[in-house]
Chains A and B, each alone.
Chain A
Amino acid sequence: MSSPPTLAIETSGLRKMFGQTKAVDGVDLQVPPGIVYSVLGPNGAGKSTLIRMLATLLRPDGGTASVFGHDVVRDSDAVRRRISVTGQYASVDDALTGLENLVLMGRLQGYTWPQARHRAGELMDAFGLTHAAGRLVSTYSGGMRRRLDIAASIVVSPDLLFLDEPTTGLDPRSRNQVWDIVRALLAGGTTILLTTQYLEEADELADRIAVVDQGKVIAEGTTDELKASVGQVALHVRLRDPGQRDKAEDLLTQELGVPVHLEADPAEMSARVEDNSRVLQGLGALTRASIEPAEFSVTRPSLDEVFLTLTGHKADDQSAGEAGEEHAA
């Protein structure tokens, strides 16, 4: 048999200190090619440091890291020929127009002037930026800037793209555009390392996820595996009549397909549900049986909850993530 395909990223015991702080503290990663791999974690978890080392911007203090089999320290030029970076790891130039930025990238990667201009025009068109090609980047909206940033990183199609919080601060429409671009890149054969603070985004795009906290990988797996460790949706119901709880428990157990937990309050119960639509079915069944909830709530796990579950402590400076959706009846 042939040898297994080279991993897109492989690290072993990777470490980086800043003074006394262990920014990255012994990280082992194996990222196969051809997938979206997400690194999740709060600010200060060590995500940036980890990625800057993989992108040849920062020298590790210990351990090894390779990209497509090339060592990031000894063979940084070979790594640079395979990767691209976006977002906070690398900026587009505000003082140039959008088109000039792409021409610059093309030239620095070895295209001739006519080739670079042609490629830049193609990319501006593909990313819906042609109308703004001659405008300075400093006048771009957040969504346009993000698209230009991604375009600048695929002037030469990279084998591995470091995509940094690509949708933070974007409206839903721009966010969907960026997500589509990511899927197109993946279909084109690019491996993507995505960092994000949004569990939803990782959920939407990632094949595998590594949760990073305090410089360590504290959980790693497919999105399903990770979710299973946290639970999906928590349904809380409080009935008007505590006498109806037994009947309600039976109905909900049947409709939700999961055990229902009876709370200390005789009118309350709760359940962890895998599938949102089942919540509605369960509540519908209660209504049909003339059981009136005084109030109910559906809460989705936030990144905080993932952290709480996985680490036992709150991610203190974490403000992003899914907020709970509260309902009252």
Chain B
Amino acid sequence: MTSSIEGVDDRVMAVLATHERPPKASPLSATITHLWRGIMAFKHFPAQLIDIILLPAIFLLLFTYLFGGAFAGSPGQYLQFFLPGIAVQSVILMTVYTGTAINTDINKGVFDRFRTLPFWQPAAIAGNLVGDVLRYLIALTMTIGMGLALGFRPGGGVLGVLAAMAVLIVFAFSVSWIFAAIGVVASVPERVSGTSMIVIYPLLFMSNIFVRPETMPSWMQVLVKVNPLSHAATASRTLMHGTAGFWDVMWALITSALITVVFAPLAVRLYRNKNTR
């Protein structure tokens, strides 16, 4: 602890003596700094790894053995169809964290300090989102690794799997902008996860992740077809099995681009105006 009052004074005087003002941080540098902040926070609380690892594992095991026999004759056969789909769910569930993290920062007043600093403000959100890519990587590696252990055999080989992972990460990054926007608007972090689940679960089930849409009523087939998650699942599935056509992948990428173009500016705009009115 500090010794004497005099001691505090002298040393504080010394650190205050430097009146230098560094040049404004570049947008890239500010984003990297926020990314670093996310990684440090992650390092201090490795417990969140449990969520990232367990959640995909539980769903993979549960659905494979619950539905496998009924849907595809055997869990092993269902897994060939299901694994590329459940990989979509693994990353999408992780995107919700982006929203809760941003909301927590806002509520705790951390973002208010950021907002009084002269750097490119969207970096605060962008840094968070880039940091979340790490989560997606871990969740995907976990899901696919477990799938391989259970008997998943991707026809597309290593390259096909890596390409699918890349597309899914791009897709998840775009979706995380939606939750970033919800995270800025929501009153408390619990509302973020609550609201997110209402949006996510219908979309997850009304897609081609779990079953082929052919047996569904025609109106639902239409919904499944336009569901962005279906595009992601199709790209994931066809890339992993090495049967991807140009449009199978393009639809997922176009969807990602559209979501980002709409929600990234929205999230940043909401953030900038948050509590200022």
Q: Which residues of A contact B149 (CB under 8 A)?
A: none
A185 adjacent to B40 (CB under 8 Å): no
Q: Which residues of A contact B117 (CB under 8 A)?
A: 80, 105, 108-109
Question: Given A107-B25, A108-B33, A108-B119, are A94 and B108 neighbors across the interface (CB < 8 Å)?
Answer: yes
B113 adjacent to A85 (CB under 8 Å): yes
Interface hits, A9-26 → B, CB 8 Å: none
Majority secondary structure of chain A interface residues (helix, strand, loop or mixed): mixed
Most B CB atoms within 10 A — which of A91, A95, A128, A176?
A: A95
A126 adjacent to B109 (CB under 8 Å): no
Interface hits, B5-25 → A, CB 8 Å: 5, 8-9, 11-25
Majority secondary structure of chain B interface residues (helix, strand, loop or mixed): helix
A153 vs B112: C-alpha distance when bound (angstroms)? 12
With both beta carbons as reference points, the residue of chain B lying nearest to A122 in the complex is identified as B15
A157 adjacent to B2 (CB under 8 Å): no
Q: Which residues of A contact B17 (CB under 8 A)?
A: 188
B47 is an interface residue with CB less than 8 A from chain A = no
B199 is an interface residue with CB less than 8 A from chain A = no
A-B interface pairs (CB < 8 A), number: 141
- Range, interface on chain B: 35 or more
Most A CB atoms within 10 A — which of B13, B24, B114, B116?
A: B116
A88 adjacent to B2 (CB under 8 Å): no
- Total A residues in contact with B, Cβ cutoff 8 Å: 53
B8 adjacent to A81 (CB under 8 Å): no
B276 adjacent to A104 (CB under 8 Å): no
A104 vs B40: C-alpha distance when bound (angstroms)? 11
Question: Given A56-B115, A81-B21, are A181 and B11 neighbors across the interface (CB < 8 Å)?
Answer: no
A183 vs B188: C-alpha distance when bound (angstroms)? 38
A180 is an interface residue with CB less than 8 A from chain B = yes
B28 is an interface residue with CB less than 8 A from chain A = no
With both beta carbons as reference points, the residue of chain A lying nearest to B113 in the complex is identified as A90
Q: Which residues of A contact B33 (CB under 8 A)?
A: 104, 107-108
A184 adjacent to B8 (CB under 8 Å): yes
Q: Which residues of B contact A59 (CB under 8 A)?
A: 276-277
B44 adjacent to A58 (CB under 8 Å): no
Question: Given A57-B112, A80-B117, A91-B110, are A181 and B40 neighbors across the interface (CB < 8 Å)?
Answer: no
A140 is an interface residue with CB less than 8 A from chain B = no
A284 vs B256: C-alpha distance when bound (angstroms)? 85
B118 adjacent to A126 (CB under 8 Å): no
- How far apart are B17's CB and chain A's nearest CB, in angstroms? 7
With both beta carbons as reference points, the residue of chain A lying nearest to B108 in the complex is identified as A91
B41 is an interface residue with CB less than 8 A from chain A = yes
B218 is an interface residue with CB less than 8 A from chain A = no
Q: Which residues of B contact A285 (CB under 8 A)?
A: none
Q: Which residues of B contact A115 (CB under 8 A)?
A: 22
With both beta carbons as reference points, the residue of chain A lying nearest to B19 in the complex is identified as A157
- How far apart are A321's CB and chain B's nearest CB, in angstroms? 26
Q: Across chains A and B, which 6 residue pairs bring their CB atoms closest together, nearest first?
A: A90-B113, A91-B109, A128-B2, A188-B16, A110-B22, A126-B11
A residues within 8 Å of B by Cβ? 55-59, 77, 80-81, 83-85, 88-97, 100, 104-105, 107-111, 115, 122-123, 125-128, 131, 136, 152, 154, 156-157, 176-177, 180-181, 183-185, 187-190
25 contacts between A and B (CB under 8 A): A55-B116, A57-B276, A59-B277, A77-B118, A80-B116, A80-B117, A81-B21, A85-B116, A93-B37, A95-B44, A95-B45, A96-B37, A107-B30, A108-B30, A110-B24, A111-B22, A122-B15, A127-B11, A156-B20, A157-B16, A177-B8, A180-B12, A181-B12, A183-B9, A189-B19
